[in-house]
Amino acid sequence: MPIGHSPEPNATSDVMWLEPYPDLLLERIEDAAPGPDVLVEAREAISLAFVAALQLLPPRQRAVLVLRDVLGFRAKEVAAMLGASEESVSSALKHARVNLQTRRPPPADPPPAPNSQAEHAIIRRLVTAYEAGDVAALVALLAEDVVVTTPLAAGQYVGPAAAKRAFAAIFAPDRSYRLVDTRANGQPAFGVYVRDPATGVFHANGMLVVTLAGDRIRAMTRFDNSVLAKFGLPRRLP
C-alpha cells in the first residue's frame, strides 16, 4: 500500500516503530524459554498487537514484562539481571500489566489455528481478492473493527469504510499484484509484488501481516521492502 497514494487516515497511531519477525526464528526463541510457568501464551506474546502495545510502556516496565511474562524468568532472576530489588520488579510488573491491558485492543473472536483448514479458507479468499483487485471481496472479509496500518504513515484506517478507500487507492486499473505467503509474529503474512506493465516482471511492493478473528480479518499491517530479506523473499518475481 504505497503511502503517497493512500487517502487520509481516519485515526492516529502512537506506535512509531514496528517490524515483523519470521515465525521460524520465533520458534527458536520459544524453545529457549526457561520454564512452563510462562503467564502469557506464546502466540499472543509475539503478535503485532502485543508488540505495538509493548512499545508504549516505560522502559523498565517493558523489560520486566518481557522477562517475567513472556520469557518466564523468576522475579529473583529478573532482579539480578536489572540490578534491582525483587520488590521493585514485582511493582514494575504489576504496573506493566495494567498499562498493557489499557493499551491493547479489546478481546475479539480467537483466530483459527495456524495452518488449519479454517485459516487456509480465509487466506485463499484474501489472496484471490487482492490479486484480482476486487475491493468489494476484500471488504467482505473484514471485521467491523478492522484496523489497516502502515507504520511509516501518520495514522490508521479504522473500519471497513476507511479500509475500502485505502484499497480503492492501490487497485488502479493498470496495476496487478501477486502475493507470496509466509508467516510473521505467529500470523499469516505475504510478500506483496506489483507488476511492471512494460516488462511483465513483478517487483517487491512490501509485506502484509494479517490478524484474524474468527472468520474475519481484524487487522492488516503493511511494511516496506526492507523486511523482505529476513523472510527469504526475493525483490522480484518473473
Which helix or strand (DSSP H or E) is residue 181 part of?
strand 177-184
Amino acid sitting at position 54: L
Select from 52, 75, 103 the last residue of a domain.
103
Amino acid sitting at position 40: V
Output the nine-digit C-alpha cell for 231.
Answer: 523472510
The number of folded domains in the chain is 2
CATH of the domain at 147: 3.10.450.50
Select from 54, 81, 103 the last residue of a domain.
103
- Which is it for strands 155-158 and 11-12: parallel, antiparallel or unpaired? antiparallel
What single-letter DSSP state applies at residue 63?
H
Check: CB of residue 177 under 8 Å from CB of residue 186.
no
Check: CB of residue 20 under 8 Å from CB of residue 227.
yes
Give dist(CA 222, CA 149) in Å, integer. 6
Coil, helix or strand at residue 49: helix
Give dist(CA 154, CA 195) in Å, integer. 27
Output the nine-digit C-alpha cell for 42.
Answer: 506464546
**Residues 133 and 217 reside in one and the same domain:** yes
In a structure prediction context, what are the per-residue pLDDT tens digits for the chain, which is 238 residues long?
444 456 777 666 655 556 787 877 666 555 555 444 444 455 566 677 777 777 778 889 888 888 888 778 899 999 999 999 999 999 999 998 888 877 766 667 889 999 999 999 999 999 999 999 999 999 999 999 999 987 556 678 999 999 999 898 888 877 899 999 999 988 999 999 999 999 999 999 999 999 999 999 999 999 999 999 999 999 999 8
- Domain range enclosing 88: 23-103
Check: CB of residue 220 under 8 Å from CB of residue 149.
yes
Check: CB of residue 57 under 8 Å from CB of residue 99.
yes
Q: Which residues of 175-191 are buried (b: 16+ CB within 10 A; e: fewer)?
A: ebbbbbebbbbbbbbbb
